[in-house]
Structure 1
Amino acid sequence: MTFSVIAAFTIILVVLTAGEFVSAKTKAFVPSVFVSAVLFLIGFWTFLPKDIIEQGSFAKPIVYISMYLLLVHMGTLMSLKELLSQWKTVVIALTGIIGICLLTLTVGKLLFGWETVVAGTPPLTGGVVASILMSKAATDKGLTSIAVLATSMYIMQGFVGYPISALCLKKEAKRVLGIYKTDGKKSNSAKKAVNFTPRKKLLPPLPEKYQTPYMILLKLGLVGWLASLIGPVIHVNDFVVCLILGVIGCEIGFLEEKALNKANAFGFLMTTLMAFIFANLSQATPSMLKQIIAPLFGIIVLGVLGMFIVSLIVGKLLGFSKEMAFACTLTALYGFPADYILTHEAVKSVCETKDETEYVLDDMLPKMLVAGFTTVTIASVIIAGFFVKLL
Structure 2
Amino acid sequence: MSQMLALSVLVFFLFIGDVIAIRTKAWVPSIFISAVLFLIGYWTFFPENIVELAGIPPTVAVMLIYLLITNMGTLLSVQELINQWKTILIALAGILGIITVLFAVGTFLFGSETIIVAIPPLVGGLVSALIMSEGAAAAGLPSLAVFAIVIYVMQGFAGYPLTSVMLKKEGNRLLQQFRNGEIDEKQVEGGNIDSDVNELKLFKWMPEKYNTEFFKFFRLAFVGFLAYQVSVWLAPVVTISPFVLCLLFGVIATSVGFLEKHPLKKANGFGFAILGLMLFILDGLKKATPEMMVELIWPLIGCIVLGVAGMYVFSLIMGKVLKVSKEMAFAVSLTALYGFPADYIITNEVINALTTDEKEREVLTSHMLPPMLVAGFITVTIVSVVLAGVFVGFL
* TM tier relative to shorter chain: over 0.9
**Structure 1 residue aligned with 2:308, among 294, 304, 308?**
304
Residue identity matched to 2:229: L
Number of the residue aligned with 2:97:
99
SS at 1:389 equivalent: helix
How far is the alpha carbon of 1:188 from its aligned partner? 7.5
**Structure 1 residue aligned with 2:355, among 346, 351, 360?**
351
CA contact (8 A) 1:123 1:130 kept: yes
What is the distance in 1 between the residues matched to 2:302 and 2:281? 24
Q: How many residues are paired up?
A: 386
What is the distance in 2 between the residues matched to 1:326 and 1:250? 30
- TM-score normalised per structure 1: 0.95
How far is the alpha carbon of 1:201 from its aligned partner? 4.1
What is the distance in 2 between the residues matched to 1:93 and 1:328? 6
What is the distance in 2 between the residues matched to 1:341 and 1:198? 24
What is the distance in 2 between the residues matched to 1:52 and 1:109? 38
Number of the residue aligned with 2:366:
362
Residues 1:274 and 2:272 aligned together: no
What is the distance in 2 between the residues matched to 1:117 and 1:169? 29
What is the distance in 2 between the residues matched to 1:324 and 1:186? 18
Deviations 1:237-280 (A, max 9, x none): 11111111111111111111221111011101111100111000
Number of the residue aligned with 1:171:
169
Specify whether residues 241 and 348 from structure 1 end up closer, same or farther in structure 2 by C-alpha distance, changes over 3 A only: same
Residues 1:374 and 2:378 aligned together: yes
CA contact (8 A) 1:169 1:327 kept: yes
CA contact (8 A) 1:201 1:251 kept: no
What is the distance in 2 between the residues matched to 1:127 and 1:196? 32
Residues 1:239 and 2:243 aligned together: yes
Specify whether residues 388 and 201 from structure 1 end up closer, same or farther in structure 2 by C-alpha distance, changes over 3 A only: same
What is the distance in 2 between the residues matched to 1:340 and 1:120? 25
Specify whether residues 64 and 186 from structure 1 end up closer, same or farther in structure 2 by C-alpha distance, changes over 3 A only: closer
What is the distance in 2 between the residues matched to 1:298 and 1:188? 41
Specify whether residues 187 and 129 from structure 1 end up closer, same or farther in structure 2 by C-alpha distance, changes over 3 A only: closer
Specify whether residues 233 and 320 from structure 1 end up closer, same or farther in structure 2 by C-alpha distance, changes over 3 A only: farther
Residue identity matched to 1:338: A
**Structure 2 residue aligned with 1:284, among 276, 283, 288?**
288
Residue identity matched to 1:313: I
What is the distance in 1 between the residues matched to 2:301 and 2:19? 28
Number of the residue aligned with 1:36:
34
Number of the residue aligned with 2:220:
220
How far is the alpha carbon of 1:321 from its aligned partner? 0.7
**Structure 1 residue aligned with 2:87, among 86, 89, 99?**
89
Specify whether residues 170 and 206 from structure 1 end up closer, same or farther in structure 2 by C-alpha distance, changes over 3 A only: farther
Deviates more, 1:345-354 or 1:218-227: 345-354
Residue identity matched to 1:208: E
Residue identity matched to 1:349: A
**Structure 2 residue aligned with 1:322, among 319, 326, 329?**
326
CA contact (8 A) 1:53 1:276 kept: yes
Number of the residue aligned with 2:116:
118
How far is the alpha carbon of 1:317 from its aligned partner? 0.8
How far is the alpha carbon of 1:187 from its aligned partner? 4.0
Q: Which runs of 5+ in 1 are unaligned?
A: none
How far is the alpha carbon of 1:136 from its aligned partner? 1.1
CA contact (8 A) 2:196 2:260 kept: no
What is the distance in 1 between the residues matched to 2:339 and 2:205? 33
CA contact (8 A) 1:95 1:310 kept: yes
Residues 1:249 and 2:249 aligned together: no
Number of the residue aligned with 1:333:
337
Q: Which runs of 5+ in 2 are unaligned?
A: none
Deviates more, 1:4-13 or 1:15-24: 4-13
Deviations 1:360-390 (A, max 9, x none): 1011101000000000000001111111122
Deviates more, 1:256-265 or 1:22-31: 256-265
Residue identity matched to 1:39: L
Number of the residue aligned with 1:137:
135
What is the distance in 2 between the residues matched to 1:231 and 1:163? 35
Specify whether residues 288 and 82 from structure 1 end up closer, same or farther in structure 2 by C-alpha distance, changes over 3 A only: same
Specify whether residues 186 and 172 from structure 1 end up closer, same or farther in structure 2 by C-alpha distance, changes over 3 A only: closer
How far is the alpha carbon of 1:232 from its aligned partner? 3.2
CA contact (8 A) 2:185 2:362 kept: no
Which aligned pairs between 1:127-206 and structure 2 lie closer than 5 A?
127-183=125-181, 184-185=183-184, 187=186, 201=201, 204=204, 206=206
How far is the alpha carbon of 1:205 from its aligned partner? 6.6
